[in-house]
Structure 1
Amino acid sequence: MILGNICTRACRFCNVATGVPGEVDGDEPKRLAFTVQEMNLKHVVITSVDRDDLVDGGAEHFAKCIKEIRRITPDTTIEVLTPDFLNKGGAESIVIDAFPDVFNHNVETVPRLYRYVRPKANYFNSLSLLHKVKLRNQNIFTKSGFMLGLGETETEVKQLLDDLKNAKIDFVTIGQYLQPTPKHASVEKYYSPEEFNFFKSEALKRGFLMVSSSPLTRSSYHADEDFKILQSERMSRNSTLS
């Protein structure tokens, strides 16, 4: 996680500390790249807190981290899990043009619950962000995830899957929401593995390259293995089309 550990938002599902973040550490991209080298990482996921205090929401810092890793360990594949950059014009393009292998941004829940669960975010801004990745560079895999158990309905989940498909998402992750503390949003329902399999089936029907759906699925769970599967699925589909 880059850009500090203090978030400028207070989403009701997340236990990251909220407050006024410190200054951006200009040496962080280089330190991150050397850490990736020292640990001999073949695939790395870069994420951050929300930094609504920054002009670009932290986009340039993401780009610098990607570029430094490419410089130090060019064979490492890179996934970014970004905030929505508060819909700051052009911020996403800075990250896209640094060419991560996977661009992930989680929609988290259905639009009806945004005002309660993600009060400073906008569902359609998140969809737009993800769609812009494909419009700018079709070679970057796009990924998004959401939680079940916050009070959504089956119909709403199916519509969310339709929306993600229309935004040209490649990979969808679906997991069970767990309440971090009693102060956070309550768990309205615990879904069974069979129900997660049902939503996986619904997602696959819509044509996503890959779907991970289970109670313990998390956004970056098995990210390295999943990236290899994504590559294989794309090659297979392209071969079929040709």
Structure 2
Amino acid sequence: MVTLIDTQAQRAARHPEKQKRPDSVVMRKPEWIRVRAPGGEVYEQTRAIVKENRLVTVCEEAGCPNIGECWSKKHATMMIMGDTCTRACSFCNVKTGKPNALDREEPANVAKAVATMGLEHVVITSVDRDDLDDGGASHFVETIQAIRAATPNTTIEILTPDFLRKAGAAEAVIDAKPDVFNHNLETVPRLYLSIRPGARYYASLRLLERVKERDPNQFTKSGLMVGLGESKEEVMQVMDDMRSAGVDFLTIGQYLQPTRKHAPVDRFVTPQEFEAYETIALSKGFLIVSASPLTRSSHHAGEDFARLKAARESRQDHIGS
């Protein structure tokens, strides 16, 4: 007997709000986007640790193209607060709908997985939880504290939602003192209504600014997708906005369309254009920049954190000399 997988039904279950949208053409990826299929012994070990601790990873849920590379190094980005998001961004492959109650054992399970993997640097992200009074801020804090208790030498990077209209939520997370506070602006302001309708560009920008106001020593990071129809001038304006908010680290990567119901790719930005964006961004004062077709927020995060610290020290030495 042959069993056929109904991928259309699977898509409907993950993204019910998108099913009435017309299908869009999925553009063929250029050669510079191709990656190897995931697999191998270490990859399977990472997968087993994730499953054993009942964890969700953004690597799987968002369909990250770098999962094979990262998991083969025992690097996995934990996605806390469940696998269901209360937003419905048109670029994102994470399931949308009504989330379940928080798993109170999750912070301890994340910490256990971090210890088992022997991670020197870990990235913790989450779905949006607009249904919670604090947007999940206390769960972030508990997870940071659990990791610090289990592996005190592990540096912690968080990739947070915007905590829109959640008074005091961002401050609680900032005060937990993650080593890197990341919140992605994702796209240029003009495209927010179609790409990130549940968010507000200037609210996200203000969140990053508040991190620096409350804790100037905390590294801040933000990312952009390109290939959604933005202009070069709009990208450069976002760079300026980020620098005005004190953002230290910028990531820029190619948007890849998860399904025919998601926002279509406008074009594939060439590697040469990414190099130009990196040069421009560095000239604007970012400590470091990662810009390439396959750049994602947590890709090479550990190595980038070392670069980030070195860049700050170098700049401080230069100012002091």
The normalised TM-score by structure 1 is 0.99
What's the counterpart of residue 2 of structure 1? 80
Secondary structure at 1:86's aligned position in 2?
A: coil
| 1:131 counterpart (209, 224, 237) | 209
How far apart are residue 189 of structure 1 and its match?
Answer: 1.1
| 1:191 counterpart (269, 278, 287) | 269
- 1:20 aligned to 2:120? no
What's the counterpart of residue 101 of structure 1? 179
Q: Which residue identity lines up with residue 303 of structure 2 in the other structure?
A: E
Q: Which residue identity lines up with residue 209 of structure 1 in the other structure?
A: L
Secondary structure at 2:85's aligned position in 1?
A: coil
- 1:60 aligned to 2:141? no
CA distance in 2, matches of 1:89, 1:238: 34
Aligned residue runs from structure 1 range 5-84, under 5 A: 5-84=83-162
CA distance in 2, matches of 1:84, 1:103: 12
CA distance in 2, matches of 1:133, 1:227: 17
CA distance in 2, matches of 1:133, 1:87: 16
Secondary structure at 1:85's aligned position in 2?
A: coil
What's the counterpart of residue 227 of structure 1? 305
- 1:241 aligned to 2:319? yes
Unaligned runs of 5+ in 2: 1-78
How far apart are residue 87 of structure 1 and its match?
Answer: 3.4
Alpha carbons 1:87, 1:125 under 8 Å: kept: no
Let me know the Cα RMSD of the aligned residues.
0.7
CA distance in 2, matches of 1:35, 1:189: 38
Unaligned runs of 5+ in 1: none
Runs of 4+ with deviation above 4 angstroms: none
Aligned residue runs from structure 1 range 112-191, under 5 A: 112-191=190-269
Q: Which residue identity lines up with residue 201 of structure 2 in the other structure?
A: Y
Identity, % of aligned positions: 60
How far apart are residue 198 of structure 1 and its match?
Answer: 1.1
Q: Which residue identity lines up with residue 245 of structure 2 in the other structure?
A: A
Alpha carbons 1:81, 1:104 under 8 Å: kept: yes
Q: Which moved more, 1:181-190 or 1:30-39?
A: 30-39
Alpha carbons 1:174, 1:214 under 8 Å: kept: yes
CA distance in 2, matches of 1:31, 1:204: 38
Alpha carbons 1:11, 1:119 under 8 Å: kept: yes
Q: Which residue identity lines up with residue 144 of structure 1 in the other structure?
A: S
CA distance in 2, matches of 1:131, 1:239: 24
The normalised TM-score by structure 2 is 0.75
How far apart are residue 63 of structure 1 and its match?
Answer: 0.6
Query: Number of matched residues?
Result: 242
How far apart are residue 40 of structure 1 and its match?
Answer: 1.0
Secondary structure at 2:257's aligned position in 1?
A: coil
Secondary structure at 1:239's aligned position in 2?
A: helix
Q: Which moved more, 1:207-216 or 1:80-89?
A: 80-89
Q: Which residue identity lines up with residue 101 of structure 1 in the other structure?
A: D
